[in-house]
Structure 1
Amino acid sequence: MVAHNGVMRVREVRVEELPLLQEIERAAGRCFDEVGMAEIAADEPFSVEELAPFVRAGLALVAVDGSDRPVAYLVAERIDGALHVEQVSVHPAHARRGVGRGLLEHLAALAVAEGVPALTLTTFAEVPWNAPYYARCGFRPVPEDALGPGLRAVRAREAAHGLDRWPRLVMRREL
């Protein structure tokens, strides 16, 4: 959470916290009901088994409150030479306070420390807290013909999951 001095504590996820990430995801997903995307709101989060590899890779981060309880999370993976943000979710009770941006900045710092040149993500083009938000965080759209094989595979999985019912974008932030 963002404290009064603007500092937010981010740390790696502990395996026993994975069910909490699912709760955060479910709560955050309800916002999609408000924009006519009930199927997205109802979509189940990653299972504990699906989340575990992100933890093992050191690419599962949480923002925590003063009690060290996760209020937001980010999971990423290495794709096409960049760190790809697979999911970032902020519990609605902690939204609009810079928590998601703090997680992205923490990941960007990890990427820079590893010599990784960029962050990538896929997102809904027309949802206000998706593509327009990420643009404010420094991400820019990537044309389909400029996608590497890993991002093409991500987009194919998303299409197979039905996410292309709404306009989607791949975005990249150079570091």
Structure 2
Amino acid sequence: MIRPAVPADLPVLQELEMASGEPFATLGMHAVAEDDPPTLEVLGEYVAAGRAWVWAEGGRPVGYLVLDLVDGAAHIDQVSVDPALRGSRIGRRLLDHAAAWAVARGLTALTLTTFVEVPWNGPYYRTLGFTFLAPEEETPGLRALRAAEAAHGLDRWPRACMRAELADWRPLSD
């Protein structure tokens, strides 16, 4: 069900991003819920670099993950799943795929930035083996990402960087 994203998927990825943002409104995080999705150009850059994957059902993406490389780690830039499929482990399987991709390239960690208190963000990633980084543990690239997020207004809610060591990663077993 996981395959590389292709250019024809990009408008659907934008739709998924907007839909997956909607639950943030229930927490009063309307600015997050209403934030614009990545542009087709930005998503296309991930596709061209071979760092974008989708979970497809019936040929149509219902979840996606895009990955950057930040300071020698595979950085989860975004993972989004259709909210109607919440709890189906699609996001987890996409994360497992990203971890396997990173290991195959000799990378030793996954990183991400996340909302600390949103149940499907920080607390969820902790259950997968990610740990919060103290500000002094953040790499220069992660600090730059956090600064960009703060400039975008995301620091209105507690945010942090997280890291998972791939030597300790345990993929979901079916």
TM-score calculated relative to the size of structure 2? 0.94
| Matching of residue 127 in structure 1 with residue 105 in structure 2 | no
Q: Who is 2:46 aligned against?
A: 54
Question: Mapping of 1:1-175 within 5 angstroms?
Answer: 9-65=1-57, 67-175=58-166
- Taking only aligned residues, the RMSD between alpha carbons, in angstroms, comes to 0.6
The alignment partner of 2:9 has SS state of helix
What is the percent sequence identity of the aligned residues? 53
Q: Give the partner amino acid of 1:172.
A: R
Q: CA deviation at 1:26?
A: 0.7
In structure 2, stretches of 5+ residues that fail to align are: 167-174
The equivalent residue for 2:169 is: none
TM-score calculated relative to the size of structure 1: 0.93
Amino acid at match of 2:49: A
Give the residue type in structure 2 aligned to 1:127.
Answer: V
Q: Measure how far apart 1:13 and its partner are.
A: 0.3
| C-alpha distance in 2 between matches for 1:147 and 1:127 | 21
Counterpart residue number, 1:6: none
**In 1: Cα distance, 2:2 partner to 2:43 partner:** 18
Q: Distance in 2 between matches of 1:18 and 1:87?
A: 14
Gaps of 5+ in 1: 1-8
Give the Å deviation of 1:146. 1.1
In structure 1, give the amino acid aligned to 2:27. V
Structure 1 residue runs of 4 or more that deviate by more than 4 Å after TM superposition: none
Q: Secondary structure at the match of 1:108?
A: helix
Q: Helix, strand or coil for the counterpart of 1:89?
A: strand
TM-superposed CA distance for 1:53, in Å, is: 1.1
1:137 Cα deviation (Å)? 1.2
1:91 to partner: Cα distance: 0.5
